[in-house]
Structure 1
Amino acid sequence: MSHIDIEVKRIKEKLLEMWDLVDYQFQSGQEAMATIDHELAKRVIKLGRKVNNYDVKIDRMSENVLALFTPVAIDLRLMLATLKINASLERIGDDSEGIAYFVQKLSAPLNPELVEETRVIEMYEAAKAMLADCRTAFMKDDTELAKELIKRDKTLNKIYAKADTIIARCLTEDISKIGEGLVLFSIIKKIERVGDQITNIAEEIVFYRDAKVIRHKRKKKKKE
């Protein structure tokens, strides 16, 4: 194994360690939301510092490979993709922290009817599955799975698009629930952003494996 192969392997391993940590943050955010567990929410927030340390470490390792080995072809694309995937994972960690912060604002469980009508649990489960499958796509260089994830993000977008109307209607019926409604909508918005970051990662997997940039093509289709 060449020196560059060894370094690339180390970076991928470090990235997967960070991925597991971010995945734990995101999953714990849902548990904290369901049980209004302020201690668990606090733990999710505290882990943010560890995620940030991974972010800085992976950036430095990737930059060293670019500077010392001047990689080409797939190795170069992998390093460029790694920098972006690293940034997206860090943002998912930030969004998980955001969910935990909102959970800390709640003193009682969310209204079950509002939870069901907004489909927040369904949305969270879909996003968790996407994050797990995205990790699999990265480990196995599975570009077909990566492309499938981009399509699955539409489900999260549809739930998010309807959430504000549902919550607004419920709040007009009972203004005492304004604080709870705003927290719930903020959590839904964070989950939608996680879906966007997973989509960004999936696009980078396609980029480094197939040498294809699909981001702008996707945006063009949306406009059409």
Structure 2
Amino acid sequence: MVINAEQERAQLNQTGLEMLSLCISQIEKATEAFLTHDTDLAEEVINTENRVNALDLKLQNDCEKFLALYNPVAVDLRFVMAVLKINFDLERIGDHAYGISRIIVDQDKKIQPNLFEVLKFDKIYETITSMFDDITTAFESKDASFARKVFKKDKVLDKINANSYAIIEEEIKKDNGVINQTLLLFAIIKKYERVGDLIKNIAEEIIFYLEAEVLKHKKKK
């Protein structure tokens, strides 16, 4: 069966969505494992990392093959270049899900519920989930307006992350018995903040693909 450029492009699009869905699932499971102290679920995330890596390599190879066979230009070229970069960011998101799960298994410390509350962990995860929804909709519907919603939400994560050290300091002053728990939570919050940055990168690539607008090096106003 002869496969043409349009069919190959559709397949690339589908594999990209599969990678996105897989990495979102990894973060969701890692978060549930962290909140419920479920080491079995954390182990599942760790074991699924091999699938993330395999899909990462497949997408890289398929993009390179498309470039070599069809010599794409204009929107097709932007699409393939965006998929390559998005895939790179997704693989790193998968790495953070793995890292969170590794901490859960290796440290084996249950976090006191009040620490989740004061450090606004629910708000962090709610924001991450909303950002994932935005980039998924933007990619599936080819609507850059959804990708642009991500930037404001990323600032919410940056603010929570910036405030977390002072909050942790106060909690330790109240009870130095929570030192290990707060430091572990701080390390994991940093990972979620980095996931937010990676989602923002993906949003920029979607906008580049759809509108030929490069955002990465624009000066902040």
**Which interval holds the TM-score relative to the shorter structure?**
over 0.9
| Deviation at residue 117 of structure 1 after TM alignment | 0.8
The equivalent of 1:211 in structure 2 is 212
* Code of the aligned partner of 1:55: D
C-alpha distance in 2 between matches for 1:43 and 1:102: 13
C-alpha distance in 2 between matches for 1:45 and 1:168: 31
C-alpha distance in 2 between matches for 1:153 and 1:120: 14
C-alpha distance in 1 between matches for 2:86 and 2:33: 26
SS in 2 for 1:82: helix
Tell me, which stretches of 5 or more residues in structure 1 are unaligned? Answer: none
| Deviation at residue 40 of structure 1 after TM alignment | 0.2
* Code of the aligned partner of 1:98: G
C-alpha distance in 1 between matches for 2:113 and 2:190: 19
The answer as to 2:41 corresponding to 1:49 is: no
Task: Number of aligned residue pairs: give it.
Answer: 220
Report percent identity of matched pairs.
Answer: 42
Tell me, which stretches of 5 or more residues in structure 2 are unaligned? Answer: none
* Code of the aligned partner of 1:100: S
| Deviation at residue 108 of structure 1 after TM alignment | 4.8
C-alpha distance in 2 between matches for 1:168 and 1:97: 27
C-alpha distance in 2 between matches for 1:107 and 1:25: 19
Q: Deviations over 1:27-63 (max 9, x none)?
A: 1111101110000001111111100000000000000
The equivalent of 1:17 in structure 2 is 18
C-alpha distance in 1 between matches for 2:108 and 2:87: 34
* Range 131-140 or range 194-203, more displaced: 131-140
* Code of the aligned partner of 1:188: I
C-alpha distance in 2 between matches for 1:132 and 1:29: 18
C-alpha distance in 1 between matches for 2:84 and 2:28: 24
The equivalent of 1:196 in structure 2 is 197
C-alpha distance in 2 between matches for 1:108 and 1:161: 24
The equivalent of 1:126 in structure 2 is 127
| Deviation at residue 107 of structure 1 after TM alignment | 3.9
The equivalent of 1:177 in structure 2 is 178
The equivalent of 1:5 in structure 2 is 6
C-alpha distance in 2 between matches for 1:194 and 1:64: 29
C-alpha distance in 2 between matches for 1:168 and 1:106: 21
| Deviation at residue 200 of structure 1 after TM alignment | 0.4
| Deviation at residue 174 of structure 1 after TM alignment | 2.4
TM-score where L is the length of structure 1: 0.94
| Deviation at residue 106 of structure 1 after TM alignment | 4.8
C-alpha distance in 2 between matches for 1:44 and 1:34: 14
C-alpha distance in 1 between matches for 2:177 and 2:67: 56
C-alpha distance in 2 between matches for 1:71 and 1:134: 24
* Code of the aligned partner of 1:123: I
Q: Deviations over 1:54-94 (max 9, x none)?
A: 00000000001111110000000001101000001101101
* Range 195-204 or range 127-136, more displaced: 127-136
Asked if the contact 1:36–1:104 (Cα under 8 Å) also holds between the matched residues in 2, the reply is: no
* RMSD over aligned Cα atoms: 1.5
C-alpha distance in 2 between matches for 1:124 and 1:39: 21
The equivalent of 1:150 in structure 2 is 151
TM-score where L is the length of structure 2: 0.95
SS in 1 for 2:60: helix
